[in-house]
Structure 1
Amino acid sequence: MNKALYTLVIALFCFSASNAQEFSFGLKGGPSYIMGGQITGRPGGGTDFSGTVEADSQFKYHGGGFFEVRFNKFLIRPEVIYSAMEVEFGFPTQPSTYSLDKVSVPLLLGYNVWGPVDIYAGPAYQKIIEVSLEGNEADQPVVAQNSPLAAQAGIKAAFGRFELDLRYDRTLATKEPYIINIVNGGQDGYGINTADFDDSRLNQILLSISFKIFDSAANPGRRKGGCYF
């Protein structure tokens, strides 16, 4: 299945490059604003914290690469993006950081609305690399998602070989509460014991600066037709 998908993607790139009016590829990165997450304590012996804690949004970062082909005012843009994501839960005795690292592979379709400005949207496959919640006991692991799909939409503007890109990345995983067990007492306790992780989904707003390593529009003598891979 993976081999067939890889072959299909390469074939699409070859077809796009040979028929496109312009194409480019390069690197991108920048800050991310992370949102989401909700935990509710379960009452035990009458003293356990039973309130609901909404996660505080945090800034983190992302980076990756892109390949873009253009047909008049339309564009196709596959990307690979690594995202470091983090929010903070303000538990009764001390805060706990919820961290998630993932790799996304979006396939974006766009349209040039004016001059250097494009709008775009598309699906993204996301692979969770690592997930952790500070203070969570190992016997109740954190589950980050129940679907590998996300959706992205945004706007970007080109300035020569540079681009400024603002987008929203939303996971398509559904809300699926499950039980976790957090260190409660002692110096390292968080003041909450058994709890429901009501919503473990994290979404983000990404602000990227992209640099085109190669841009066919700046190389009029480029090869016509054929596959570059």
Structure 2
Amino acid sequence: MKLKYLTVVLLFSIYLPLQSQEFGFGVKGGLNTISIGDIITVGSNGANGPVAGLVFEPQKDLGFQFGGYFFAQFGKLYVRPELNYFSSKSYYDFPNRQAEWSTSKIDFPILVGYDLIGPISVYAGPGFSFFGDTTIEGVQETGFTTGDAGPDIKTTAISFNIGIAFRYKRLGIDLRYELGQTEVAEEREDFIRSTFGVNLADLQSYNPNILSLSVSYDIFRTDAQNIGSLFSGLFKNNKCYCPYKK
């Protein structure tokens, strides 16, 4: 399945320059936060443990992402396939100490945007995600747990992206919200009570929604003459910045 989506993105990226007015590619990186489910204690947490029904809400922490993109411009419209790596994390404030939740994924969003006014544009589009390991610190696999030790996130998932972007010459700033379309099912986890102060608890179902802020840089653009670059005057208007003259 990964190869199929990668092939589609690759063929799409090859086809777009043939039809576009302008095109280019670049690199990007930034920070993100992710929304995940509450943890609720259940059953007996031991004589000195928390009572059943105690809710621990996830506290957002900053993750990071980096990647690359290709874009093709059609007047005010543009199409932008990307390839990104995400590392995201949150934590739970348990009675004895914090437990970190973390995951990573590779993302293939295909975005369609529209230039609103000046350097500001809006965009939306689907994303295809391939998750790596997802863990919660302190979870142990026992006969009381559901599945493996930690959240059982599907390795492949689909999301929907919406965002707003600001571009100045080769630089861009991008604020994006990614809505996960694949729900993570509720699971029962068994924590190390002596370390975290929690024993049995349910991780509530959730969609892994991500808010991200990134900075991008266009390495190559076909309209580089219009935005300025190191070689913006090369062989233009009878100027030649080279050892010989015509």
Measured in 2, the distance between the counterparts of 1:148 and 1:26 equals 25
The answer for the alignment partner of 1:136 in structure 2 is 139
Deviation of residue 9 (structure 1)?
3.3
Measured in 1, the distance between the counterparts of 2:170 and 2:74 equals 18
Moved more, 192-201 or 93-102: 192-201
Deviation of residue 102 (structure 1)?
1.0
TM-score by length of 1: 0.87
Q: Taking structure 1 as reference, are residues 218 and 192 closer, same or farther at Cα in structure 2, changes over 3 Å only? A: same
Counterpart contact for 2:134–2:152, Cα < 8 Å: yes
CA offsets 1:35-60 (integer angstroms, 9 cap, x no match)? 32311111216634221111011112
1:183 aligns with 2:192: yes
Counterpart contact for 1:33–1:206, Cα < 8 Å: yes
Measured in 2, the distance between the counterparts of 1:169 and 1:45 equals 36
1:33 aligns with 2:33: yes
Q: Taking structure 1 as reference, are residues 161 and 149 closer, same or farther at Cα in structure 2, changes over 3 Å only? A: same
CA offsets 1:171-212 (integer angstroms, 9 cap, x no match)? 112252111111012xxx211111111135432211111010
The answer for the alignment partner of 1:167 in structure 2 is 176
Aligned residues: 218
The answer for the alignment partner of 1:213 in structure 2 is 219
Counterpart contact for 2:45–2:199, Cα < 8 Å: no
The answer for the alignment partner of 2:201 in structure 1 is 195
Moved more, 97-106 or 4-13: 4-13
Measured in 2, the distance between the counterparts of 1:205 and 1:45 equals 34
Gaps of 5+ in 2: 143-147, 227-231, 233-246
Measured in 2, the distance between the counterparts of 1:76 and 1:144 equals 33
TM-score by length of 2: 0.81
Q: Taking structure 1 as reference, are residues 3 and 206 closer, same or farther at Cα in structure 2, changes over 3 Å only? A: closer
The answer for the alignment partner of 1:225 in structure 2 is none
Measured in 2, the distance between the counterparts of 1:132 and 1:45 equals 21
Measured in 1, the distance between the counterparts of 2:65 and 2:2 equals 25
SS in 2 for 1:145: coil
The structure with the largest strand share of the pair is 1
1:84 to 50, 65, 87: 87
Deviation of residue 117 (structure 1)?
1.2
1:127 to 120, 127, 130: 130
Q: Taking structure 1 as reference, are residues 3 and 167 closer, same or farther at Cα in structure 2, changes over 3 Å only? A: closer
Bigger relative contact order, structure 1 or 2 (CA pairs below 8 A, ≥6 apart): 1
Counterpart contact for 1:136–1:182, Cα < 8 Å: yes
Letter in 2 for 1:195: A
The answer for the alignment partner of 1:151 in structure 2 is 160
